[in-house]
Chains A and B, each alone.
Chain A
Amino acid sequence: MSVALQCPRSSPSISELPLEERRGSYAMWCVIATESALFASFFAAYFYLGNNKARWQVDHPPKLLIALVLLAILVSSSFVLEWGKRRVVERRYAAARFLLAVTIFMGLVFLVLQAYEYIDHWKTLTPFSDSYGSIFYAITSFHAAHVIVGLLMLAYVLVLPRYAPARETPFRPYETVALYWHFVDVVWILVVLVLYVIPNMIAHG
């Protein structure tokens, strides 16, 4: 008798169900999870290599200023992108596209500025000088590679022909890519914290 009660109650409504459109973001969440583990490994390596070292960039912590400027650029670009996402929901596609372009521009500025920072660093530190140099450049350039991939994704969404065909599916790419961009952003916050702020704090007491 309980069998009838347990029967799935769904049958009448199935033909009215909407099309599934979240698979992109599920996959993106998984990618973010595994990429977080990747960066965690890199940070773990940073601490592991720094353990027992007399000199771990405490006497020469990397300069803070540019990193903070970079941080400001990246974080605000995330907000711009989020703003654009809202416009898509409101179906104001031109505005959305414009804000997306602004985000890409900010990402490019980030890369240029980071290149400038690298040139500055290179005078005193290279990946070949010691293990600190290796891990420092590994983490930052790996992050830069993620920025580049993020930009490629944003560019893809930028050139997508339309945002709302049947049932508006392509709203989702915007959302999915935004997830990734925020992730790249958060990683940079951690990079700044671990590689720049903490050593500077230790150095200056």
Chain B
Amino acid sequence: MSDVASIESRLTELWETPKTLRGWFATVDHKELGIRYLVTAFAFLLVGGLEALLMRIQLSRPDQAFLSPEVYDQVFTMHGVTMIFWYASPILTGFAVYLVPLMIGARDMAYPRLNAFTYWSFLISGIFLYVAPLIGQAPHAGWFAYFPYTGTRYSPSRGMDFYALSLIFLTISTTGAAINSIVTILRLRAPGMAISKMPLFLYSTLTISFLILFALPALTAACVFLELDRQWGTHFFKIANGGDPMLWQQLFWFFGHPWVYVIFLPATGMVSLIVPVFSRRPIVGYPYIAIATILTGLVGFSVWLHHMFTVGMSDMAMSFFSAGSMTISIFTAVQVFAWIATIWMGRPVLTSAMYFAVGSIALLVVGGLSGVFTGIIPVDWQVHNTYYIVAHIHYVLIGANVFPVFAGFYYWLPKMTGRKLDEALGKCSFWIMFIGFNVGFFPMHILGLIGMPRRIYTYQSGLGLENMNVIVTVGAFVLGIGILISILNLLWSLRNGPLAGKNPWNSDGLEWETESPPKPYATVHIPTVISRHPLWDDYEEESDPANDRILDEQRLTLVTSWLDAEPTSIATIPKDTLVPLILAIVLFFFFFALVFQWLMGALLSFLITVLLTYYWLWPKPAEATQ
């Protein structure tokens, strides 16, 4: 027994980040970084939520002057940009960064320092974005920023430069995180976890990581063109000299639609893990869900024009993209039916996590249906740019992202903090959020159909819009209160919650094999797996009579082949380092210099970046000697 204890203490010594200031900034531990991702992204949700409430106060009564038209434009732009780019996707990255290595029995991500870098650059790019309103020059052209409104003629302030450059900055972070997920999922799975036995969350994370690789560059290109047009006098979008403003729309939506799946698929992946656990049975139709996930990703590339039906295009193109949009809804339906069947055939246990998961399915169906409507071209022409669209995007985004994220919190926070949240408060929070959301957003469909346009700072009285706008505002505040209750619940549980133990929900996934919160090295023996539900079968994952899979010579983890997960080699995991943080800060100055067209500053930061990267990649003596 003392042997086990000495192994454990050796592993701890190897893997633990010292609790010093340097340790805090230098850590490469995926658990630490995952939690930071979650906290930071959640903070952005709150900021974006506050902006939303400002808008709703302004719109609660006709002819109000709470926000001036200029400020209103800035607020809805910041709201959309914050929510879409700095909340919805990073929060899922947070779950992935925290959970993926635990789910596959690895001790860290494939590139831990890159992981630290993508976290810091995510945070710092968000700060960069928020410098804009602080110096009073916020972007104001909506989250998809159509030209010519974004040109210097109509947007003379530096707001749009902040928009474009902060997005390019974030792109670096997002791409890095995607690469990290791809290689981690494909190569670090525990022996035996063949690709057909992966948890479904890994399928969705893998799919969206590939989507990111292929879709995000279109956004980068669009933003580069925008910056060149705005600051350096080129003519990509300016009609007068042969440019074409539609080019922005094409590039933006080529990126934008896959992005919808980036913030949607991993959330469905989480639902696919949570629903079966609380239905006390394996998920129905595992292979169909896996395939539907991948197909959603693929077909997601061929529907971007449906955001542009009102722009004008050939009938052929319209039919094609309309059909594509319809096809996608089939894949989503496959997932929804699989969840419903799972609940149907299981014995549901109604915990808070399950409430949120089921709630999200319900909202998703409404959002999906209104999406099918907007996929039909005549309807789209009618409702385009009305509150109907605002209702639709929020049903999809809140239903398919916020609710699953809350389900994920109630399900996995006990793993992260070691303590369970209060169930009664959780359910209370769910009902308040659910009711608040529907009260707040369902009437928007009707508002849109009777003609209230989106992105207007006010409306006249006597148009029949007053009552419903009051209801909408009340609903928005109720939703906010619901979210607040969950936050309080979390804060309360950190001290007083009942101890969770290893596996509080009797779940099947490998992440529940670890202590709660997990030890820095996760498990003493790297687990092996023989089924899709490692903790539900009789096989002992950590059994390792030869003590082969302890790997305690240095920070090590096991690498396996990507299909069958046969062990192929052993990967070293680097030590803590400050370089990723410094690199992200230097990039901040790089982009800052670009906003103000200060080329020397940009060049200088670029050179520092190069030197830092050299230092980062330089083989360290300790790593070279085995």
A-side residues, CB < 8 A to B, are 3, 6-8, 10-15, 17-21, 23, 26-27, 30-31, 33-35, 37-38, 40-42, 44-45, 48-49, 53, 127-135, 137-138, 152, 156, 160-161, 165-167, 169-170, 173
B-side residues, CB < 8 A to A, are 110-111, 114, 175, 178-179, 182-183, 187, 191-192, 212-218, 220-222, 224-225, 228, 232-236, 238, 241-244, 246-247, 250-251, 254, 528-531, 537-539, 544, 546, 548-549, 558-559, 565-572, 610, 614, 617, 619, 624-626
How far is A123 from B212 in the complex, measured between Cα atoms in Å?
A: 40
CB-based nearest A residue for B190? A8
CB-based nearest B residue for A165? B624
Give every chain A residue within 8 A of B247 (Cβ-Cβ): 45, 48-49
Which of B241, B538, B548, B624 lies in contact with A14, CB distance below 8 A? B548
Contact A48 B244 (CB under 8 A): yes
Contact A14 B558 (CB under 8 A): yes
How far is A173 from B625 in the complex, measured between Cα atoms in Å?
A: 17
Give every chain A residue within 8 A of B571 (Cβ-Cβ): 19-20, 23
Contact A34 B241 (CB under 8 A): no
Give every chain B residue within 8 A of A129 (Cβ-Cβ): 241
Contact A131 B243 (CB under 8 A): yes
How far is A22 from B617 in the complex, measured between Cα atoms in Å?
A: 14
Contact B217 A35 (CB under 8 A): yes
Known: A41-B217, A41-B251, A160-B619. A165 touches B625 (CB 8 A): yes
20 contacts between A and B (CB under 8 A): A7-B539, A8-B191, A10-B528, A10-B567, A14-B548, A14-B549, A19-B570, A30-B182, A34-B175, A41-B217, A41-B254, A44-B250, A44-B251, A49-B247, A53-B242, A131-B244, A134-B235, A138-B234, A161-B619, A165-B624
A interface, over-half SS: helix
CB-based nearest B residue for A40? B217
Known: A45-B225, A131-B244. A156 touches B614 (CB 8 A): yes
Give every chain A residue within 8 A of B610 (Cβ-Cβ): 152
CB-based nearest B residue for A166? B626
How far is A7 from B539 in the complex, measured between Cα atoms in Å?
A: 9
How far is A18 from B559 in the complex, measured between Cα atoms in Å?
A: 10
Give every chain B residue within 8 A of A37 (Cβ-Cβ): 213-218
Known: A3-B538, A35-B217, A128-B233. A30 touches B179 (CB 8 A): yes
CB-based nearest B residue for A2? B530
Give every chain B residue within 8 A of A20 (Cβ-Cβ): 559, 568-572
Give every chain A residue within 8 A of B225 (Cβ-Cβ): 45, 138
Give every chain B residue within 8 A of A128 (Cβ-Cβ): 233-235
Contact A167 B626 (CB under 8 A): yes
Contact B233 A169 (CB under 8 A): no
How far is A133 from B232 in the complex, measured between Cα atoms in Å?
A: 13
How far is A133 from B236 in the complex, measured between Cα atoms in Å?
A: 9
Known: A33-B213, A138-B234, A167-B626. A23 touches B110 (CB 8 A): yes
Contact B626 A30 (CB under 8 A): no
How far is A20 from B561 in the complex, measured between Cα atoms in Å?
A: 12
How far is A131 from B225 in the complex, measured between Cα atoms in Å?
A: 11
How far is A131 from B617 in the complex, measured between Cα atoms in Å?
A: 40
Q: How far is the CB of A33 from chain B (nearest CB, A)?
A: 5
How far is A127 from B228 in the complex, measured between Cα atoms in Å?
A: 10
How far is A15 from B114 in the complex, measured between Cα atoms in Å?
A: 27
How far is A18 from B235 in the complex, measured between Cα atoms in Å?
A: 54
Given contacts A17-B569, A127-B228, 17 further A-B contacts (CB under 8 A): A3-B530, A8-B567, A10-B566, A17-B558, A19-B571, A21-B569, A23-B571, A26-B110, A26-B182, A26-B183, A34-B175, A34-B213, A41-B222, A45-B221, A134-B228, A138-B236, A169-B624
Contact A8 B213 (CB under 8 A): no
How far is A128 from B243 in the complex, measured between Cα atoms in Å?
A: 11
Q: How far is the CB of A36 from chain B (nearest CB, A)?
A: 8
How far is A130 from B624 in the complex, measured between Cα atoms in Å?
A: 53
How far is A6 from B539 in the complex, measured between Cα atoms in Å?
A: 10
Contact A18 B236 (CB under 8 A): no
Contact B235 A130 (CB under 8 A): yes
How far is A86 from B344 in the complex, measured between Cα atoms in Å?
A: 61
Known: A38-B221, A134-B235. A23 touches B626 (CB 8 A): no
The 7 A-B residue pairs with the shortest CB-CB distance in the complex, in nearest-first order: A38-B217, A131-B242, A41-B221, A134-B234, A20-B571, A8-B192, A37-B217
Give every chain A residue within 8 A of B228 (Cβ-Cβ): 127, 134, 138
How far is A35 from B179 in the complex, measured between Cα atoms in Å?
A: 13
Contact B530 A45 (CB under 8 A): no
Give every chain B residue within 8 A of A156 (Cβ-Cβ): 614, 617
Among A6, A45, A156, which residue has the most Cβ atoms of chain B within 10 A?
A45
How far is A12 from B546 in the complex, measured between Cα atoms in Å?
A: 8
CB-based nearest B residue for A142? B224
Contact B546 A26 (CB under 8 A): no
Give every chain A residue within 8 A of B224 (Cβ-Cβ): 138
Which of B182, B233, B246, B626 lies in contact with A19, CB distance below 8 A? B626
Give every chain A residue within 8 A of B544 (Cβ-Cβ): 11
Contact B236 A45 (CB under 8 A): yes
Q: How far is the CB of B530 from chain A (nearest CB, A)?
A: 5
How far is A42 from B238 in the complex, measured between Cα atoms in Å?
A: 17
Give every chain A residue within 8 A of B614 (Cβ-Cβ): 156
Give every chain A residue within 8 A of B213 (Cβ-Cβ): 30, 33-34, 37
Known: A3-B538, A138-B234, A170-B619. A27 touches B111 (CB 8 A): yes
Give every chain A residue within 8 A of B572 (Cβ-Cβ): 19-20
Q: How far is the CB of B147 from chain A (nearest CB, A)?
A: 13
How far is A152 from B613 in the complex, measured between Cα atoms in Å?
A: 10
Give every chain B residue within 8 A of A38 (Cβ-Cβ): 217, 220-221
How far is A19 from B234 in the complex, measured between Cα atoms in Å?
A: 50
Known: A6-B530, A10-B528. A166 touches B559 (CB 8 A): no
Contact B619 A169 (CB under 8 A): yes
Known: A13-B567, A14-B548, A169-B619. A49 touches B242 (CB 8 A): yes
Q: How far is the CB of B571 from chain A (nearest CB, A)?
A: 4
Q: How far is the CB of A118 from chain B (nearest CB, A)?
A: 15
